[in-house]
Amino acid sequence: MSSPLPSSPAASVLDLAPVVPVVVVDDLADAVPLARALVAGGLPAIEVTLRTPVAVDAIRAIAGEVPGAVVGAGTVITPDQVAEVVAAGARFLVSPGWTDVLLDAMRTSGVPFLPGVSTTSEVVALLERGVREMKFFPAEAAGGTAYLKALAAPLPQARFCPTGGIGPGSAPEYLALPNVGCVGGSWMLPKDAVADRDWDRVEALARAAAALSAGGTSR
């Protein structure tokens, strides 16, 4: 990532919590109470994916109405999206992959960013460009903990947020790796809980996720 999170005691989104919730907002009315439940449970960094028509408005609402939330935008794939979400209040950016054009846009946005990688060559290319923090995606399909463990020795300067297929059972295995700062996932947001607007349940699941660490014990 290129710069610290503004007004944050941590220098990186990777250090805010062991888990970054990956959020898909279908109903704008859910954005604020959902984010409040996640923050109350100890997960302040919230990645809202740009997969729905209300995603940008959800980022704007969370940024403006949820104290303690560090809201970011996920599935960012174009420079126009970078500009739009930063204007809406996104404090970090996450992409599933990267190109030079997208990387330039994220770098000049003024907010931290996690470009997506799934190969060693992509990691080396980003390191050449001065980027040391990355999203590893799709984590399970791309080799999981074994792949990241293999990268740690030759490329110790790279740090990752693995996302894709990770749950509460596998998260501690990722968090045990020296090159993993946090993981991304959505298991604390089960569809039935969101549909029922059971924010107490979401908060409880978030609290359990916030307590995860290497070996599955509380940090």
- Residue 140 bears catalytic tag: no
Residues 6+ apart with CB under 8 A from 100: none
Q: Are 43 and 21 in contact (CB under 8 A)?
A: yes
In angstroms, how far is the first alpha carbon of the chain from the final one? Answer: 24
Known catalytic residue at 135: yes
Residues 133, 135, 173, 203: which is the catalytic one? 135
Q: What's the half-sphere exposure (Cβ side, CA atoms, 13 Å) at 99?
A: 6
Please give the average pLDDT of every successive group of 10 residues along the chain, which has 219 residues: 44 91 98 98 98 98 97 98 98 98 97 98 98 98 98 97 97 97 98 98 98 61
* pLDDT value at residue 213: 79
Going 158 to 160 to 165 to 169, the CA torsion angle's sign is: positive
> Which among 47, 133, 173, 203 is annotated as catalytic?
47
- Reported pTM: 0.92
The pLDDT score that the predictor gives to residue 214 is 55
* Planar angle of CA 209, 211, 217, nearest 5 degrees: 115
Question: DSSP letters of the chain?
Answer: --SPPTT-SSSSGGGT-SEEEEE--SSHHHHHHHHHHHHHTT--EEEEETTSTTHHHHHHHHHHH-TT-EEEEES--SHHHHHHHHHHT-S-EE-SS--HHHHHHHHTTSS-EE-EE-SHHHHHHHHHTT--EEEETTTTTTTHHHHHHHHHTT-TT-EEEEBSS--TTTHHHHHTSTTB--EEE-TTS-HHHHHTT-HHHHHHHHHHHHT--GGG---
pLDDT at 10: 43
